[in-house]
C-alpha cells in the first residue's frame, strides 16, 4: 500500500483534530529513535558520517550505482582506518586487519548477504554460509586446484590458448584490413576473446569437455555472465528484499538474450553431469561421488563457469590493454620469455621474475572483485590494533569488511597506484605482499586461484612468444568499471586496434 493511501486511511479513522498531533508524535518518535541509535548504539565510538550511523541507505545507493569503493575510500581518508558504513557495519582500510578477519583460526564467518549468490536454491562452494556444508563439497574437488595438479594438466589450458591464438590472428588481420581498405582500423574486443579463452580453459580442465567459446564470434555465455555480474549491485541487500527485486526483474525486465544465454549454459552442463560417472576424476564426477545431488552438481558447475569466465576474462583483457598501452613493458616481457625459451623451453613460466611481476600487477589493477568481503564478528568481539596505534573494538555480530579496491589503490603501499607498473613487484615490500589479495584470503578465498593464475601465466607467455600485441594500440584512456561485487566493464568492451 502506498504511503499516501496509508495516511488517508488513518485520517478517515481518526477523529477530527487528532491526525496532526498523531503525525507529529510519530515523526518525533522516529527522529528520537534515530538519534538514540546513532549516539548510544554499539558502534557509537567508531567514526563515520551520521547518515551511515543511522541507516544503510547511503552505502546501498552507492553499491547500486557502482561507485561504492571510491566513496568508502573517501570516508577512510576523512575518518581513518576504521569507519562506520551502516548501523551495524564497519569498513577497515588497514591491511593489518586482513589476517584476523579472514585467515587466523579460519577467519570470521561470511556475512548473510553471500546467500544472494545462491543459484537455483542451492548454496555454492562460494556462497555457502555454513562451513560444514561447504567442507563436504570443497574437500571433494580441492585436489584438482592444487598447483601441482594444475601444472600437470596445463596441456589442456595450452590447447585452448593455441586455438585462441589463431582466433586472435584472424581478428588482427580484419582490424588491419579495414585500415588498408581506406577506413579506420576495426577495434577488436579483447574482453570477448579473453572471456572465451577463460571459459574454454576452465571447462576443459575441470569438466573434461570444452565449451567452445573460442569458436563463437560473440561468446554466447556472455549475457548470462553479465546478468550474474549485475546481481552484485544488490549484493548487500537483505536476502528477502534481494529475492523480491531479482524475481521481479527476471519476470518483467530480463536482459536482452538472458534466457537464451542461460539455456546455452544449461545445454552444456546438464548432459555433461547426466553422462558423468561417480568414478571419473572430473569436477562433476568428484561431487557426485561425494553424494551431492545431480541438480546441485549442475549448479556448482555453472557457478565455476561464471566465476572463471568473468574474472579471468577480465584479467586477460586488462593485461592486453595495458601492455598495448606500454610497448616498453611488453618488449621487456618478450625479451625475458625469448631468453628463457632459448635456454629451456620446458621451463615453468611462474619462475620468470618479470612475467610474474606483469601478472601480479595485472591482478592488482584489474580487480575482478573490488568491493568489501563482509564477515561477521564472532561472539568474543574484535579488538583491532590499527597501524596508526589506535585500538578499535567491534562488538559481536558487527559486519566488517575490507575493500580490495582500497588496499590495491593505497598510495602509501603502492605509490602511483593507478599506474600499471610491473617493476614495483621486483622489489616488493612486505606491505605490498600482505595487501595484494586479488583472490581473497584464508579458507574462503577463491578455490580456483591456482588455475586462474596458471591461465594468466600461460596466456601472457603465448601472446609474447607469438608477438600478438605487435602494433596494437589501446582504445580509450582508461578502462571504466562499475564497482559492484564483481567489476563490470562499462559497455562490455575492452578494445585494441592494430596498425
The string of DSSP codes covering 101-162 is IIIGGG-PEEPGGGGGG-BTTB--TTT---HHHHHHHHHHHGGGGSHHHHHHTHHHHHHHHH
Q: What DSSP element (H or E) covers 385?
A: strand 382-385
Could you read off the pLDDT of 463-473 as tens digits, one per residue?
Answer: 999 999 999 99
First to last CA, the chain: 61
User: By the 8 A CB rule, do 90 and 75 touch?
Assistant: no
Helix (H) or strand (E) holding 459: helix 449-465
Residue 27 has pLDDT above 60, yes or no: no
Which residues 6+ apart lie within 8 Å of 103 measured at CB? 441, 442, 443
CA distance 384 to 80: 13
Three-class HEC string of 51-89: HHHHCCHHHHHHHHHCCHHHHHHHHHHHHCCEEEEECCE
What is residue 351's three-state secondary structure?
helix
Answer yes or no: is pLDDT of 434 > 50. yes
DSSP alpha helix (H) spans, 181-293: 190-207, 222-231, 239-252, 258-274, 283-289
Given a cut of 80, is residue 1 above it in pLDDT? no
Please state which of the ranges 213-222, 272-281, 384-393 shows the lowest mean pLDDT. Answer: 272-281
C-alpha cell at 195: 572471456
Closest CA to 314 of 222, 246, 427, 205: 222
Pick the closest to residue 206 from 131, 307, 72 (CA basis).
307
Is 2 a residue whose pLDDT tops 50? Answer: no
pLDDT band at 7, cuts 50/70/90?
Answer: very low
Q: How far is CA 406 from CA 263, 294, 339, in A?
A: 37, 40, 37
pTM assigned to the model? 0.91
pLDDT(35) > 90: no
Chain-centroid distance, C-alpha 486: 4
Q: Is 271 exposed, middle or buried (0-12, 13-18, 19+ CB in 10 A)?
A: exposed
Asked if pLDDT for residue 448 goes beyond 50, the answer is: yes
pLDDT of residue 32: 47
Cβ 392 vs Cβ 82: under 8 Å: yes
52 annotated as a binding-site residue: no
Confidence of residue 10 (pLDDT cuts 50, 70, 90): low
Cα separation, 22 vs 336, in Å, equals: 77
pLDDT digits 0-9 by tens, 110-146: 999 999 999 999 999 999 999 999 999 999 999 999 9
Amino acid at each position: 500500500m502506498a504511503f499516501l493511501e496509508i495516511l488517508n486511511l488513518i485520517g478517515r479513522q481518526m477523529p477530527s483534530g487528532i491526525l496532526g498531533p498523531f503525525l507529529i508524535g510519530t515523526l518525533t518518535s522516529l527522529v528520537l529513535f534515530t538519534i538514540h541509535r546513532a549516539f548510544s548504539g554499539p558502534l557509537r565510538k567508531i567514526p563515520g558520517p551520521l547518515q551511515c550511523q543511522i541507516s544503510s541507505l547511503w552505502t546501498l545507493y552507492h553499491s547500486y550505482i557502482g561507485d561504492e569503493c571510491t566513496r568508502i575510500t573517501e570516508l577512510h581518508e576523512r575518518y581513518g582506518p576504521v569507519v562506520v558504513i551502516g548501523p551495524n557495519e564497519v569498513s577497515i582500510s588497514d591491511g593489518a586487519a586482513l589476517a584476523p578477519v579472514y585467515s587466523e583460526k579460519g577467519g570470521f564467518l561470511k556475512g548473510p548477504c553471500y546467500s544472494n549468490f545462491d543459484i537455483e536454491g542451492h548454496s555454492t562452494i562460494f556462497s555457502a554460509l555454513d562451513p560444514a556444508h561447504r567442507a563436504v563439497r570443497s574437500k571433494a574437488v580441492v585436489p584438482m586446484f592444487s598447483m601441482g595438479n594444475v601444472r600437470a594438466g596445463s596441456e589442456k589450458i595450452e590447447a585452448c590458448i593455441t586455438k585462441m591464438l589463431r582466433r586472435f590472428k584472424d581478428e588482427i588481420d580484419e582490424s588491419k584490413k579495414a585500415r588498408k581498405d581506406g577506413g579506420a582500423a576495426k577495434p577488436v574486443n579483447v574482453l570477448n576473446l579473453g572471456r572465451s579463452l577463460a571459459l574454454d580453459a576452465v571447462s576443459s580442465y575441470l569438466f573434461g569437455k570444452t565449451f567452445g567459446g573460442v569458436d563463437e564470434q560473440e561468446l554466447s555465455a556472455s549475457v548470462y555472465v553479465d546478468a550474474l555480474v549485475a546481481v552484485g549491485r544488490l549484493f548487500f541487500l537483505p536476502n528477502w528484499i534481494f529475492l523480491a527485486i531479482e524475481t521481479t526483474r527476471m519476470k518483467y525486465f530480463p536482459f536482452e538474450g538472458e534466457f537464451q544465454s542461460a539455456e546455452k549454459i544449461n545445454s552444456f552442463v546438464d548432459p555433461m553431469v547426466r553422462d558423468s560417472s561417480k568414478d571419473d576424476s572430473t569436477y562433476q564426477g568428484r561431487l557426485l561421488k561425494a553424494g551431492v545431488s545431480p541438480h546441485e552438481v549442475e549448479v556448482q558447475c555453472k557457478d565455476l563457469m561464471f566465476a572463471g569466465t568473468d574474472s579471468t576474462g577480465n584479467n586477460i583483457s586488462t593485461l592486453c590493454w595495458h601492455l598495448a598501452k606500454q610497448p616498453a613493458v611488453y618488449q621487456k616481457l618478450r625479451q625475458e620469455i625469448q631468453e628463457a625459451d632459448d635456454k629451456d623451453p620446458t621451463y615453468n613460466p611462474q619462475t620468470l621474475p618479470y612475467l610474474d611481476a606483469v601478472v601480479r600487477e595485472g591482478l592488482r589493477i584489474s580487480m575482478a572483485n573490488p568491493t568489501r568481503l563482509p564477515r561477521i564478528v564472532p561472539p568474543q568481539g574484535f579488538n583491532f590494533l590499527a597501524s596508526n596505534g589506535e585500538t578499535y573494538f567491534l562488538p559481536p555480530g558487527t559486519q566488517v569488511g575490507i575493500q580490495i579496491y582500497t588496499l590495491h589503490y593505497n598510495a602509501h603501499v603502492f605509490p602511483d597506484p593507478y599506474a600499471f607498473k610491473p617493476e614495483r613487484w621486483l622489489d616488493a615490500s612486505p606491505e605490498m605482499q600482505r595487501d595484494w589479495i586479488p583472490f581473497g584470503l584464508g579458507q574462503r578465498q577463491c578455490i580456483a586461484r591456482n588455475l586462474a593464475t596458471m591461465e594468466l601465466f600461460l596466456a601472457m607467455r603465448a601472446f609474447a612468444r607469438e608477438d600478438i600485441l605487435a602494433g596494437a594500440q589501446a582504445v580509450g584512456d582508461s578502462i571504466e568499471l562499475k564497482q559492484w561485487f564483481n567489476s563490470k566493464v562499462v559497455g562490455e568492451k575492452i578494445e585494441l586496434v592494430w596498425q
